[in-house]
């Protein structure tokens, strides 16, 4: 390994150690049910997203909308107790065949905000 490569690695490691650890502390989805982009055979009762960090329950939302933009979930979702504050869930109405979009917004326990959306489909 060249001297330049060794120096580059040393500088990179030093910078990584000096950066505050909170810089990587955002909560991002780990998995979901229904899965991102999935086609399910029947209407699910709930939509669930598991996150890779704990969530501030008072500042999280999970909403499901149909293809015309109507909300088909009840309320704004909730963080499930006993999930180490990592599972966000909402109950949905009986979904007819079609496309649905899931919108989520969370604040991690460290105060960082993340949000996003994904689509799934219900087949008839």
The answer to whether residue 14 sits within a structural domain is no
By residue range, what is the domain housing residue 53?
25-122
Residue with tokens 């006993």: 82
The answer to whether residue 11 sits within a structural domain is no
The answer to whether residue 79 sits within a structural domain is yes
pLDDT in tens, the chain (124 residues): 665 444 544 434 333 433 444 445 689 999 999 999 999 999 999 999 999 999 999 999 999 999 999 999 999 999 999 899 999 999 999 999 999 999 999 999 999 999 999 999 999 7
DSSP E strands, 14-75: 29-33, 39-40, 46-51, 61-66
The answer to whether residue 117 sits within a structural domain is yes
Q: What pTM value is reported for the model?
A: 0.79
Domain count, the chain: 1
The answer to whether residue 112 sits within a structural domain is yes
| Residue 63 belongs to domain with CATH number | 2.60.40.1220
């Amino acid at each position: 390994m060249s001297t330049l490569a060794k120096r580059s690695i040393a500088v990179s490691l030093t910078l990584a150690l000096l950066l505050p650890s909170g810089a990587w502390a955002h909560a991002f989805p780990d998995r979901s049910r229904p899965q991102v982009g999935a086609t399910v055979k029947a209407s699910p009762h709930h939509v669930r997203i598991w996150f890779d960090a704990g969530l501030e329950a008072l500042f999280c939302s999970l909403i499901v909308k149909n293809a015309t933009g109507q909300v088909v979930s009840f309320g704004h979702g909730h963080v499930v107790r006993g999930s180490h504050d990592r599972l966000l869930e909402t109950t949905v109405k009986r979904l007819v065949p079609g496309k649905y979009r899931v919108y989520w917004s969370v604040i991690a326990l460290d105060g960082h905000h993340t949000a996003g959306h994904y689509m799934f489909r219900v087949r008839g």
